[in-house]
Amino acid sequence: MKILVLNSGSSSLKFQLFEMPEGQVLVKGLAERIGEQTAHFKANDYEVSRPLPTHKEALQLLTDYLLNPDNQIIKDKNEIIAVGHRVVHGGNTFVQPTLITPEVKAKIKELFSLAPLHNPANLTGIETAEQIFPKAEQVAIFDTAFHQTIPIENNKYAIPDTFYQEGIRKYGFHGISHQYVSRAANKRLGRTDTKLITLHLGNGASATAVRNGKSYDTTMGFGPMNGLIMGTRSGDIDQSIIFYLLDKMGYTSAEIQTILNKKSGMMALAGSNDLRDIETAARQGDEKARLALKMYAGAIQKYIGNFTAQMNGLDAIVFTAGIGENSDVVRRMVSQNLDYLGIRADLEKNKDPKTYQGDITAENSPVKIWVIPTNEEKEIAQQTYTLIH
């Protein structure tokens, strides 16, 4: 059974076609710069640059590629039984994979205000797929859904209750990734009554406390700026800074948004949001880069302490996403000086986790430390398959 997974951004469309339940990837690719003068389309080893005015032309191009007899992928569009869509914000409404209906689409639209950069693009992807694959089941998988198990004491802010009633609360993000790697970690542990901390460290970054397979707390909140230091986002700051910028320094609300979202984090500290550049600069003695790495790892350690205390213990830490999977420097800095919590990495294994099946735990460490590559698309395919099967 073939399931297509779509992740639609405002000017991009990432896709993977899976053979389920095996999980085999038949096609993987993306369309970028949709709506610009020239877009770029890549599917497996086929690449083309040409205008793609909307997502519809991008998805049509993918369909042509799939149907092309030379590629031997599908003979008929209807072989694609379902399309699984990543949808960023599910609010309080969506806690499960959800079959898309007109009501579901209306609700996703209502949530535009909570995720103005993402949900509109996600809905465009859904509506386009409905047109191009009218016979396929359309399924939404929400990035917030995994965090809906966070107990009220961890999702409520200490501000007047009316705001909570209005939906101002911690939602958390990267849920699909945290769910995928936490399930993989529980499989390794051979049980589900576990206490985990999953660290999704990509351009955006978040840490999640996962207790008994369920999200218990997470570092992102109402929006995706809170918590850890990220590529271009500040992570935790004192909210009085915002009022100072607004009232005393004359910045507009839009400018402050841009500063905290696009000009902060590692970009502000070290002049780049690419961790590889920062590591190189730090090796060459650049003080700003060194400080940036120290602060980056320190922010993660603060939450490891916080979450371990909340769960009253810890079985494993999981590193994932671009930085978590690839940066031995960050993993080393995060894992050091945590012996008190029973966290000790083997620094040799840390340099080459693949050789050790991602297990970089030191022999005398009670807490496991694992590097587990995330695979949000596979998780979406699996959840879609389970729903329609």
Active site residues: 143
One character per residue 181-210, x = contact with ligand ADP (rule: CB under 6 A): ---------------------xxx------
Nearer of residues 203 and 257 to ligand ADP, judged by Cβ: 203
Give the one residue of 267, 275, 318, 367 binding ligand ADP; rule: CB under 6 A: 275
Which tokens belong to 170? Answer: 């911690």
Q: What residues pair up with 7 in beta bridges, in sequence order?
A: 14
3-state secondary structure 254-323: HHHHHHHHHCCHHHHHHCCCCHHHHHHHHHCCCHHHHHHHHHHHHHHHHHHHHHHHHHCCCCEEEEEHHH
| Sequence-separated (6 or more) residues with CB below 8 Å from residue 22 | none
Give the one residue of 221, 224, 231, 235 binding ligand ADP; rule: CB under 6 A: 231
Give the one residue of 16, 215, 327, 350 binding ligand ADP; rule: CB under 6 A: 327
Where does this chain touch ligand ADP (CB under 6 A) — which range of 15-23, 93-101, 153-161, 271-279?
271-279
Which of 261, 241, 106, 92 minimizes the C-alpha distance to 169? 92
The secondary structure of the chain in percent helix, strand, coil, rounded to multiples of 5, reads 45, 20, 35
- Provide, rounded to whole angstroms, the least separation between the CB of residue 63 and ligand ADP: 25
Q: Is 326 in the site for ligand ADP (CB under 6 A)?
A: yes
- Provide, rounded to whole angstroms, the least separation between the CB of residue 326 and ligand ADP: 3
Q: Is 318 in the site for ligand ADP (CB under 6 A)?
A: no
Which of 190, 172, 227, 184 minimizes the C-alpha distance to 319? 184
| Sequence-separated (6 or more) residues with CB below 8 Å from residue 220 | 170, 171, 172, 173, 174, 206, 226, 227
Where does this chain touch ligand ADP (CB under 6 A) — which range of 131-139, 250-258, 274-282, 283-291?
274-282
Which of 137, 144, 75 minimizes the C-alpha distance to 115? 144
Where does this chain touch ligand ADP (CB under 6 A) — which range of 90-98, 218-226, 273-281, 379-387?
273-281
Q: Is 227 in the site for ligand ADP (CB under 6 A)?
A: no
Nearer of residues 191 and 276 to ligand ADP, judged by Cβ: 276
Give the one residue of 5, 321, 367, 371 binding ligand ADP; rule: CB under 6 A: 321
Q: Is 276 in the site for ligand ADP (CB under 6 A)?
A: yes
Q: What residues pair up with 338 in beta bridges, in sequence order?
A: none
- Provide, rounded to whole angstroms, the least separation between the CB of residue 109 and ligand ADP: 25
Where does this chain touch ligand ADP (CB under 6 A) — which range of 60-68, 211-219, 270-278, 331-339?
270-278
d(CA 389, CA 384): 8
Q: Is 323 in the site for ligand ADP (CB under 6 A)?
A: yes
- Provide, rounded to whole angstroms, the least separation between the CB of residue 374 and ligand ADP: 8
Q: Is 175 in the site for ligand ADP (CB under 6 A)?
A: no
Rule CB under 6 A: which of 123-152 touch ligand ADP? none
Query: Checking DSSP bridges between strand 24-32 and strand 39-43, what pairing results, if any?
Result: antiparallel
Which of 317, 315, 321 minimizes the C-alpha distance to 275? 321
Nearer of residues 327 and 365 to ligand ADP, judged by Cβ: 327
- Provide, rounded to whole angstroms, the least separation between the CB of residue 327 and ligand ADP: 4
Helix axes 287-311, 328-335, angle to 10 degrees: 50
Q: Site for ligand ADP (CB under 6 A): how many residues?
A: 12
Distance of CA 300 to the CA centre of its chain: 16
| Sequence-separated (6 or more) residues with CB below 8 Å from residue 116 | none
- Provide, rounded to whole angstroms, the least separation between the CB of residue 247 and ligand ADP: 33
- Provide, rounded to whole angstroms, the least separation between the CB of residue 190 and ligand ADP: 28
Asked if residue 248 lies in contact with residue 256, where contact means CB atoms within 8 angstroms, the answer is: no
Chain residues binding ligand ADP by CB under 6 A are 202-204, 231, 274-276, 321-323, 326-327
